[in-house]
Structure 1
Amino acid sequence: MILNPIEAVCVYVVQPIIDLLAYLQNDVHYVAYLGGLAVLGMCLGLLFSIITVLWYRSLHPEEFAKVEKGE
């Protein structure tokens, strides 16, 4: 059976991250868990900021077009 895209992302991307954070919290140390959350937050923030900038630039191309000086 073929997974739909949402299931594929949840099963192969999100679930391992959640499992790693649960392992860090329960078996390693709480500070390692907080560090993992911080790294995850920074990575997601960077990813979403890049997506936002690309989205904004695609909606407003006239603001980023090169302006030629007329004499």
Structure 2
Amino acid sequence: MDAIEADARSVIERVNLPSTAPIVGAGCGRFLAVALADRLERPYRDFADLTPCADTAREMLARCAPAAAVAQLA
């Protein structure tokens, strides 16, 4: 987690992201994104919050984010 945080801080500084820019969690490692957002003191957004879907499909949508994103592009 320390390495992920260090890399994230490097990107944030390099591209000068505003402090309001959220950490978006997608896939089965979303719990890491939640922890990272906390460490960086940034808001967290779950991929499922960004994609309209039935409540019953939210977890699967967030876990399968790459496939869901490709489907939306199609």
Q: Same fold by TM (over 0.5)? A: no
Larger radius of gyration: 1
Higher helix share: 1
TM-score normalised by length of structure 1: 0.30
Higher strand share: 2
TM-score normalised by length of structure 2: 0.29
